[in-house]
Amino acid sequence: MFKNASNDYWENTWRQELATQSTMKYLQVQHPVVDNPHNLWKSIRPRQHQVQRAEIKAWLITGTFILQSNAMKYNKSDVSATCKLCGVNDETREHLLGRCSALSQLREENFTRLRAITCISDDNKLQPSHKTLIC
């Protein structure tokens, strides 16, 4: 009885948070929320470096990661919005994840791994037009 009441309380609390917090819309919270962690946390092992990476991913997903462009908006001091990695464009989430030239090699390595996984596991499930897009 206590467990059901506790689960109901946390389920309602999460629903309220999801409705009021603008950053929560990106999380795609699974229901029930109790005993059902987000896929981001399910996909890691309890190792310090993996937890740290997952924290950064969670910050990026929720939009709470302080990028240079955000720091420039909120700090009174002179903070440049320019990406510290490439020094070319403003550091936005889109730039950091998809356009930053300093991260292009790392991005390509991960896309290659993702393509290999996708081609092996979903070879029979994808439509021909999607296979060429992914593989």
Q: How far apart are CA 88 and CA 100, in angstroms?
A: 8
Contact 93, 68 (CB under 8 A): no
| DSSP string computed for 37-77 | --HHHHTS-S-HHHHHHHHHHHHHHHT-S--HHHHHHH-SS
pTM above 0.85, yes or no: no
Q: Note whether residue 5 is domain-resident.
A: no
Binning pLDDT at 50, 70 and 90, where does residue 125 land?
A: low
Q: Which domain holds residue 90?
A: 66-135
> Phi/psi class of residue 70: alpha, beta or left (left: φ > 0; alpha: ψ in -120 to 50)?
alpha
Q: Note whether residue 85 is domain-resident.
A: yes
Q: Note whether residue 76 is domain-resident.
A: yes
CA 62 to chain CA centroid, Å, is 7
Q: Note whether residue 110 is domain-resident.
A: yes
By percentage, how much of the chain surpasses pLDDT 90?
A: 7
Checking if the pLDDT of 42 tops 80, the result is yes
Q: Note whether residue 102 is domain-resident.
A: yes
Domain count, the chain: 1
